Amino acid sequence: MITRLNVHRQSADWQRALAQAVTDPEELFQRLALDPALLPAALKASEQFRVRVPLGYLGRMTPGDPNDPLLLQVLPLAEECLEIPGFQCDPVGDLESMPIPGLLHKYHGRVLLVTSGACAIHCRYCFRRHFPYRDASAIREAWPQILMYLRTHEEVREIILSGGDPLTLSDDKLAAMVSDLAGIPHLRTLRLHSRLPVVLPERIDDTLLGWLTGTRLRPIMVIHANHARELDGTTRAAMERLELAGVRLFNQTVLLRGINDDADALAMLNHALFDSGVQPYYLHMLDPVQGAAHFAVTEEHALTLMKQLSRQLPGYLIPRLVREVPGHDSKTQIAHSPHAVEGFSL
Ligand SMILES: *Cc1c(COP(=O)(O)O)cnc(C)c1O
Ligand code: SF4
């Protein structure tokens, strides 16, 4: 969380933009000229998971269009309050693979740190909408333990800063973290997973590039874009700055019903990513999180989309279709031969 003090002290453009994000459902409805009949449901659903939309991102939406693919990612709906069997609060088993608060070690060679519970945008489909960040992002108190864990696990090559969104933290904090991590000789790669290059491109400023590229660790960033319309001149400029500074860029998309679940939308997204210097990486099946069932796409439809994509796009623009299955030692690729995934069906 950014305190008022912090904003005054540093008052970087991105911190002002973050502080100005829309958090009141009523304001969201007014700014986008939405049907007031939907407001009571939005207010109710936002009690479970608050609204948060940066103004720049809101500016890429079409006012008056209730089906705008950007709006649908942030608009609280009555459907969120339904309890659907199979949709859970901790769908990816995070709480079981956390040896230290804030540290997830599920896969060989890479460790994920939950660095912050805060995000610049609240995505309604988020698999961490129920995550107990208050316990899990205790990274400040657990930091010495985390460093000790990493020092004693010499097989770990890559450190992943995730969240919430790591780029909601101040540059001072991030720089200090990265400097400690760079002191662990077997670590090679510093990966950030962040939606800020897309939803708050102001964040990619010189101060950020300073600590991100001023380390011996090889920096890579996975941005999270779901739709071509999320990318405009401001985001393209942010990606260019990252690319010029030597940061390798990848994208991860969540496959979302009504937002990007058709081949043309996905093809346009992957072309737009390429135009921004970003390599498509994963197309994620939705995690079955409670409150997000209305975004779910069936595996059958996902496979059809992949087939259509492979006809439309060069191989290097096709992301891998994956799902996260609790207990598996990597993301699970969904291949063309249809198969059931344990514990989950649609
Ligand atoms: C997804 C994830 C990773 C990264 O997996 P890649 O296949 O390397 O992108 C690492 N750790 C955890 C806990 C994850 O959930
Ligand atoms: S963690 Fe990512 S998907 Fe979830 S709300 Fe934050 S930015 Fe959105």
Q: What's the number of domains the chain is made of?
A: 1
What per-residue confidence (pLDDT) applies to 1?
Answer: 45
More confident of the two residues 210 and 341: 210
What is the arithmetic mean of pLDDT over 167-176?
Answer: 96
The pTM (predicted TM-score) of the whole model is 0.91
More confident of the two residues 169 and 96: 169
* Among 53, 165, 192, residue to substitute to test ligand 2 (most atoms within 8 Å of Cβ): 165
What per-residue confidence (pLDDT) applies to 83?
Answer: 84
What is the arithmetic mean of pLDDT over 310-334?
Answer: 95
Q: Locate the ligand 1 atom nearest the alpha carbon of residue 252 and give its number.
A: 9
More confident of the two residues 342 and 139: 139
Collapse the DSSP code of 305 into the 3-class scheme (helix H, G, I; strand E, B; otherwise coil) and give the result.
Answer: helix
Residue 10's pLDDT band, with cuts at 50, 70 and 90, is: low
Q: Locate the ligand 1 atom nearest the alpha carbon of residue 106 and give its number.
A: 13
CATH value at residue 124? 3.20.20.70
**Is residue 61 assigned to a domain?**
no
What per-residue confidence (pLDDT) applies to 91?
Answer: 65
**Is residue 41 assigned to a domain?**
no
Structural domain of residue 13, as residue ranges?
4-18+88-344
**Is residue 96 assigned to a domain?**
yes
**Is residue 23 assigned to a domain?**
no
CA of 261 to the centre of ligand 2 (A): 19
Residue 111's pLDDT band, with cuts at 50, 70 and 90, is: very high
**Is residue 57 assigned to a domain?**
no
CA of 22 to the centre of ligand 2 (A): 16
Q: Spell out which residues line ligand 2, taking CB within 6 angstroms.
A: 119, 121-123, 126, 128, 163-165, 195, 224
The answer to whether residues 120 and 200 touch, using CB atoms and an 8 Å cutoff, is yes
CA of 122 to the centre of ligand 2 (A): 6
| Tens-digit pLDDT profile for residues 196-254 | 999 999 999 999 999 999 999 999 999 999 999 999 999 999 999 999 999 999 999 99
CB-based burial, 183-202: b 16+ in 10 Å, e otherwise:
eeeebebbbbbbbbbbbbbb
What per-residue confidence (pLDDT) applies to 286?
Answer: 96
What per-residue confidence (pLDDT) applies to 90?
Answer: 66
**Is residue 55 assigned to a domain?**
no
**Is residue 183 assigned to a domain?**
yes
Residue 290's pLDDT band, with cuts at 50, 70 and 90, is: confident
- Tokens representing 301 are 């439809």
**Is residue 47 assigned to a domain?**
no
